A and B are shown apart, each in its own frame.
Chain A
Amino acid sequence: MAARPALRSAARALRPSFRSCSCPSARYAKPFSTSPLPQKPAPTPNNPDASSFSDKTTHFGFEDGLSEAEKTERVAGVFHSVAESYDRMNDLMSFGWHRIWKDHFVSSLNPGLSSHNPPTPQNILDVAGGTGDIAFRMLHHAHQLNRNPDVRVTISDINTSMLAVGKQRSLKLPASQQTALSFLPADATVLPAALAPNSFDLYTVAFGIRNFSNIPQALREAYRVLKPGGVFACLEFSKVGNPLLNAVYKRWSFSGIPMIGQLVAGDRDSYQYLVESIERFPSQDEFRDMIVDAGFVVGGEGYENLTGGVAAIHKGMKPLDAK
């Protein structure tokens, strides 16, 4: 309890200038409840002509009452400004641990594994995967470990700055992997018609879905493009179960991360948003229910906690009898 005044003053210090929160009470109701690492870019709707742009409101960090279009724009702003320093920041914020999560995520999906000889081709869509972290791991796993050269990965991101970083990085890959890679600027809630229904084996989104302006809509899109039997897999920050770990984690994310953002990337507000958006993201069970509501089948509990729940992997499968 003694820490509370200190926390409060830290909270004041952290308040970013752009947050003109219309509802201060909501902000102070849970003063220190946010989390740490900002990671992946988030696709959000930003083509203004899309008909899905309703007057529905959503939130941006702890700020409420934004239209979906506004959120899209702001998220775009955040990721334009962090794209360059994204990887360095991820390492600093998570002490390099995000690499372990991502490795585990990919190996638990085991892309490219096939019981057939020659192996069956697979088509993977990595949404919000601008910098290619997940996509490159998938290609490596499928091509090198599972010896399946017919695995293709499409990296989709709403943010062209992030995609540009990914493209740049992909030049270091072996040529065979580069040819299996394609880039697609797209909004995850309104995937382009070029992505035909029932065309993908695997849909992944790592540290991106919390930035989507309309998550249920994005899940429906995922359901649409997946083949029956195809898998939706999501790696995202979640809720920590252990109160002790949670206290440390919240402290780090609300005071440490924006500070690192300011020092290293020169951009405090973007990282403050990342931290707040993590706090606003639904819990493991709630998100699992959203996946089920979109029509997916989940196995077991429907999710797997990583590092005590700091991050969680959710998986859902499109049932065979899907229309």
Chain B
Amino acid sequence: MAPSRALAGLLAAGRRAPQAAGAGAHSSRFVLPRTYHSYDHPPPPGVFNAAEKAILSAAYAHVPEHGFTQHALSLGARDAGYLDISTSLLPAGPFSLIKYHLVTKREALAPKSAGIFGGPAAAQAQAVPVEAKVERLTWERLQENRDVIHRWQEALAIMAQPSLVPASLHELALLADEIYHLSGDKSVDPSWYTKRASLSTIYASAELFMTNDRSPGFGETQAFLQRRLKESSGVGAVLGNVAQWVSFTAAAGVNVLRSKGARI
């Protein structure tokens, strides 16, 4: 967890504190955010408060028909019993709806993972290798896009707006971290970062692939995902071997010099 804490510190420094949790809970309204996973502390309050959730969840039902738009939001607000103007409560308009999709689907991974692999991630960590779990969970997450995939290119266009890029990348990073965490990854070396970075890239490209995938059950996307993951683990193995060879040769070189009397 050490590198993740360091990353958490960096992220926290760059961000403003807290999300409002809810109307009533005054004292615990603004709790410091925690960007790492903890086994010992209760999870931090959600990103959306009760009113936002009510509007967004109702609006989300309209996404397949109306896309991630202001129109879907205002239909949702109406369904939830709010006024048209209430949607201006949401800080980022349609992007809030996209974020709602990203956050809820990411949070749904943990219970799903427990269902697939049985019990907490630690319990059966040995049974299934981490790589297999990563692939399975990534695929599960991709399948969550099923209902909105025909609207997802619009969403990607919104997410690519310069002012929204940091928030979008942050969500992607959180997803990659979540998947590795649920897969029981315990690395505490620089590979903590490389693993998450490569999974982020693979996930994003698979998602893009999926928007044009017309095969039944998105089989093509699954094959695409498997190929990319295999490539990345292949590259990882090659890099590891090269690094091992370099360090062995360097150590041997130093020893040769020492045997010649060099004071190293």
Contact = CB atoms under 8 A, between A and B. Distances in A.
Given A233-B88, A298-B20, A317-B86, 4 more contacts: A115-B74, A297-B22, A315-B88, A317-B89
A301 B51 contact: no
Interface of A: 108-111, 113-116, 120, 122, 201-202, 227, 229-231, 233, 292-293, 295-302, 304, 315-317, 319-320
A299 B23 contact: no
Interface stretch (B76-84, B137-145, B220-228): B76-84
Contacts of A231: 85-86, 88-89
B153 interface: no
Q: How large is the interface on B (under 10, 10 to 19, 20 to 34, 35 or more residues)?
A: 20 to 34
B12 interface: no
A316 B70 CA distance: 19
A110 B70 contact: yes
5 contacts: A115-B75, A292-B26, A299-B52, A302-B20, A317-B89
B16 A301 contact: yes
Nearest to A109: B88
Interface of B: 16-20, 22-23, 26, 29, 49-52, 70-71, 74-75, 77-78, 81-93, 96
A113 B74 contact: yes
A300 B49 CA distance: 8
B83 A230 contact: yes
A120 B84 contact: yes
A320 B85 contact: no
Contacts of B26: 292-293
Contacts of A317: 51, 86, 89
Contact of A114 (B49, B84, B88, B89): B84
For A231, A293, A297, the residue with the greatest tally of chain B CB atoms inside 10 Å of its CB is A297
A202 B86 CA distance: 9
Contacts, number: 95
A301 B23 CA distance: 13
Contacts of B91: 299-301, 304
Contacts of B71: 115
A292 B90 CA distance: 16
A35 B179 CA distance: 47
Contacts of B74: 113-115
A122 B86 contact: no
A115 B18 CA distance: 32
A316 to B, nearest CB: 8
Given A109-B88, A292-B29, A299-B51, A320 B20 contact: no
A302 B52 CA distance: 12
Nearest to B23: A297
B67 to A, nearest CB: 14
A299 B20 contact: yes
Contacts of A230: 83, 85-86
B84 A115 contact: yes
B23 A113 contact: no
A109 B70 CA distance: 12
Contacts of B82: 229, 320
Contacts of A113: 70, 74, 84-85, 87
Nearest to A227: B83
Contact of B20 (A109, A293, A300): A300
Nearest to B71: A115
Contacts of A304: 91
A115 B78 CA distance: 8
A103 to B, nearest CB: 15
Contact of A109 (B50, B52, B85): B85
B31 to A, nearest CB: 13
Nearest to B26: A292
Given A110-B70, A299-B51, A320 B81 contact: yes
A122 B84 contact: yes
A292 B21 CA distance: 12
Given A299-B51, A299-B91, A122 B20 contact: no
A319 B23 contact: yes
Contacts of A293: 26
Contacts of A302: 20
Contacts of A111: 85
Contacts of A202: 85
A115 B23 CA distance: 27
Contact of B49 (A115, A233, A297): A297
Contacts of B70: 110, 113
Nearest to B81: A320
